[in-house]
Amino acid sequence: MSDKPSVLFVCVHNAGRSQMAAGWLRHLAGDSVEVRSAGSAPAATVNPAVVQAMREVGIDIADQTPRILEYATAESSDIIVTMGCGDACPVFPGKRYEDWKLDDPAGRGIDAVRPIRDEIRARVQRLVAELRPTD
């Protein structure tokens, strides 16, 4: 990894889980990590319940746009975190992969999205702790 590691979060629609994870990582790590997110079959917009859930904790992701997973983006990422993108996620030797099994917030209301948001926060906090150099 370079001095500034890059983390790519990938889910199917890039409208829920990966957007929340990217929002948390930007919030918790600031500019010490390059944050990327993408989807194997991106939606047109970010899930409104996801936007609302993140706003509740002071993180605004309303301006984010779902993006298609591109080979070059995955290849140039240090860490790839998958969240149910299946066989569409490319595998590169030497990359660090994590597969986070999380419920999909698609079609769910805010009450169902909050626990997903909170689980993602806990996982991102662990990731940030691993990425920070020890003193």
The active-site residue, picked from 85, 120, 124, 128, is: 85
Per-residue pLDDT of 80-123, as tens digits, reads 999 976 656 667 777 899 999 999 999 999 999 999 999 999 99
Rounded Cα gap, residues 118 and 135, in angstroms? 28
Tens of pLDDT along 20-40?
Answer: 999 999 999 999 999 999 998
pLDDT in tens, 57-75: 999 999 999 999 998 998 8
Q: Do strands 79-82 and 34-39 pair parallel, antiparallel, or not at all (unpaired)? A: unpaired
Give the phi and the psi of residue 11 in degrees, each rounded to 5: -135, -175
The answer to whether 85 is a known catalytic residue is yes
Catalytic residue among 12, 21, 79, 89: 89
Check if 89 is active-site.
yes
Catalytic (active site) residue 47? no
Q: What is the pLDDT of residue 135?
A: 46
